[in-house]
Amino acid sequence: MPIPSADRDGIDFADRVFHLEVLKGGMNRLLFRSNRSSVFASRVEILFMNVQYVALGTSLEGIVVRDFGAAEDWNDRVWRIGQRDELRVYVVTSASGEGRVVAGSVTVDESDAGPSDSSRFFMMD
C-alpha cells in the first residue's frame, strides 16, 4: 500500500534488514529491498522518486523513514540542490546510522515476491 509523502507517521520496518537494490540516476529513483526469509513471509520495497540528494549507506539494519518537511526549508552546508518545489526531506534512521534523502515522494510495497522476482515498481529492473 503506498504511503504518501505527506504522511508524517512514515514508514517503519525497524525489525528488517534492507539493502540498496537499484539506483537509477537518469530516472532519479532509489529502491531499497528487504527480501523474504525464514523470519519474514513478505518482501518489502521502499521507492524514493525524483531523488535529488542521498546521504545513506547501502545496507540498513532496520529502516524508519520520516517526512522531515519541505525541501525549500532544507539547508545543507556542503551540498546545494536546484529547484526545490515539490521536494521533501526524508530522514532515514536505522541501527546502521541516520541519513537524508531529498526526493519528490516515497512509497512502499509489501508482497510475497521472491528475491529474484521483478520489482512491482515500474521500470526498476
What confidence tens digit (pLDDT) does each residue in 3-26 have? 444 355 689 999 999 999 999 888
Whether 119 is covered by a domain: the verdict is no
pTM of the model: 0.86
Q: Which residues constitute the domain of residue 87? A: 11-109
Would you say residue 116 lies in a domain?
A: no
Of 88, 81, 121, 124, residue with least CA distance to 103: 88
Q: Would residue 123 count as lying in a domain?
A: no
Note whether residue 68 is domain-resident: yes
| Structural domain contains residue 1 | no
State the total domains in the chain: 1
Q: What is the pLDDT of residue 2?
A: 42
The answer as to whether 94 is a domain residue is: yes
- Taking only the tens place, the pLDDT of each residue in 66-103 is 998 888 776 766 666 767 678 999 999 999 899 999 99
CA distance 50 to 82: 13
